[in-house]
Amino acid sequence: MHLEVRIKMNDKLFLRNPEESALGKKIVKQGLSLINKIGFETFTFKKLSVEIDTTEASIYRYFENKHKLLLYLITWYWSFLEYKVIFSVNNITNSELKLKTIIKLITEEPSNVSEKTDFISEYESYKLVIYEGAKSYLTRHISKDNKDRLFKPYKDLCERFSSIIKEYNPKYKYPHSLASTILEMAHSQKFFKQNLPSLTDFANETDDKKIILFLESLLFCSLKC
């Protein structure tokens, strides 16, 4: 699926909107690529400045620090994923099929074949969420970030998921907890599969089909309790 969407980002994520200049777009695009390549802990604005042939000070004019850049990238992904969910379930009336569609969307790795963009790659942002997603909120300043509504796209996606869970079974008591658990598990199982295979049953699988089946089983068994 290829969607052309314009996502309005929370202006507390940046000092200057990176979408409004060629340099800003380059910072975001190459920053995403470099974090995926060397890891968030090793990533610095100095290294990024060398990568894109600019000054470190120029990058700081767009983002206060590297954590705000990470949040920007992660937030973009959650917003884009919610667009995909809305687009995909819009004409589906069966709530079970809606839930299966959502599980597939949150789990399946996007294609990177012929993906051309001067901004954020869906495939690269998916990889970022798998490896670095939890680092966006496991911080000591999460309360302030939450007050600034920096996690709203993630919460909106969970709310949409939980609303369809309630549609499927209005009597189920824990729709929000189940939605966020399934969403997190879709990425943690993929991470374990690639890095800590003894923690999953999917180490030898070449695609995501069995992870999807596992998540469907977990979801619908819970909803039938």
- Provide the residue-wise pLDDT of the chain in tens; the chain has 225 residues: 455 567 899 999 999 999 999 999 999 999 999 999 999 999 999 999 999 999 999 999 999 999 999 999 999 999 999 999 999 999 999 999 999 999 999 999 998 865 677 789 999 999 999 999 999 999 999 999 999 999 999 999 999 999 999 999 999 999 999 999 999 999 999 999 999 999 999 999 999 999 999 999 999 999 986
H/E stretch holding 37 reads: helix 22-38
- CATH topology (fold) of 11-223: Tetracycline Repressor; domain 2 (1.10.357)
Q: What angle do CA 198, 199, 204 make, to 5 degrees?
A: 55
Structure tokens at 216: 């469907």
Name the residue ranges covered by the structural domains of the chain: 11-223
The torsion defined by the Cα of 176, 140, 36 and 87, in degrees rounded to 10, comes to 30
